[in-house]
Every structure is written in structure tokens, then in C-alpha cells.
Amino acid sequence: MRNTFYRSLTILLPCWLLLSCVASAAVPAQAAPALPTWVKPGLVLQYVENLGGYVDYDYTDSVTSVSQGVVQVTTYTWSPGLPGTGKYLYWHCAAVCTGLPAQTSAQFWIDPRNPVASLSSGPWRYKYLGVKTVKVGAKSWQAGVLFYANAQGQQVVTDFQASTGLLLYHREYAYSLATHSWYTIVVSYQGTKG
């Protein structure tokens, strides 16, 4: 009886080890989010924000430097309907932004290889819904879609260009009302500096 047990163990143990190696190789590890290569000095983006139809803000983000995976950005923000509201904000972050100052336009990139982890530091735990065609302004884009909803009725949808990770459109809804949204317009790109 004892020999039968050891014989079975010597046959089953290598099979179990082989199966566990094959199973772990079949599930590749998700790469940590990376800063997209198009985020470089000279990049200028404009975002237009609408707060429930009441106040509009314009944000112009200018990438001033990128070094060792950290991007430095100058944001000029102002409200066209409120004279004297313009101000400059200076901020920086890596591939995943955390703790950005208030009134910045926020992280305008998403790593398309790992979109959920690209925004994991915020208050929302997104789900990736796949790619669809979205219209932003007059242009149609192939966009990856990130979605969040909670039991209180809040919903957040973030669309990004599927191939590059450029943030295209962000909408926040509370209790079935669109309370906050913004979209991006690529204003200019001068290439790399320095």
C-alpha cells in the first residue's frame, strides 16, 4: 500500500508542476502603465470644460519637459464668461498621476496597453469596455472606453484614442444629470525641444 502511494505521488507531482507552469505562462503579467511617447516638450492641448451647462472653462496644457518618465506641464486656465479668471498652474507627474492640484486639466494621456491601471490612482475604479467610434467636435475617433458607476447613481465615462492614449472626452454624471464634462482639441504640436 505504501509503495502504491509513493508511486502515485512520483507520477502526479511532476504532472502537477508541469500544469502549474503552463497555467502561469498562459496568463501574462500586465505591464505597468507607461508615459506615451507622444507626450514630449512642445505638445500643446486644449480642453474645454462644461460644468452642467453653467460655467465653461478652457484649459491649455503645454508640456515643458519630460525627463526620466516624469512630465512637466504648464496649464493656463480661464473662463471665457468670467473676466479676470485666467491663471497659470504648474504641475508634474509620471505615467499615473496622483495628487494633482485643483483646477488643472488633469492627466491627458492613458497607456492604451493598460488603460485601467493608467487611471487607478483616482477616486474611480474603472472597467474597460473596449473600443468604439466616438465623435468629439467634428472629428470621429476610434476610442477606448473606461467606465465607472456606483450605487449612488454616479457614472464616469472616459474616452481615449485607442491607438495613442490621448484623452478625448471625459463625462461625469450624478443622478442622471450630466454635471461635468470636458473634451480635448489638439491645438498644436511643435515636436521635441532640447
The domain spans of the chain are 43-184
- Residue 177's identity, in one-letter code, is L
Please say whether the beta carbons of 69 and 94 come within 8 A: yes
Please say whether the beta carbons of 136 and 169 come within 8 A: yes
Q: 33-52 as b/e, with b when 16 or more CB fall inside 10 Å? A: bbbbeebbbebebbbbbbee
What's the mean pLDDT in 161-180?
Answer: 77
Please say whether the beta carbons of 101 and 91 come within 8 A: yes
More confident residue, 115 or 53: 115
Q: 165-176 as b/e, with b when 16 or more CB fall inside 10 Å? A: bbbbbbbbbeee
For 48-102, what is each residue's pLDDT tens digit?
777 666 567 788 889 999 998 899 999 888 887 778 888 898 888 888 877 665 5
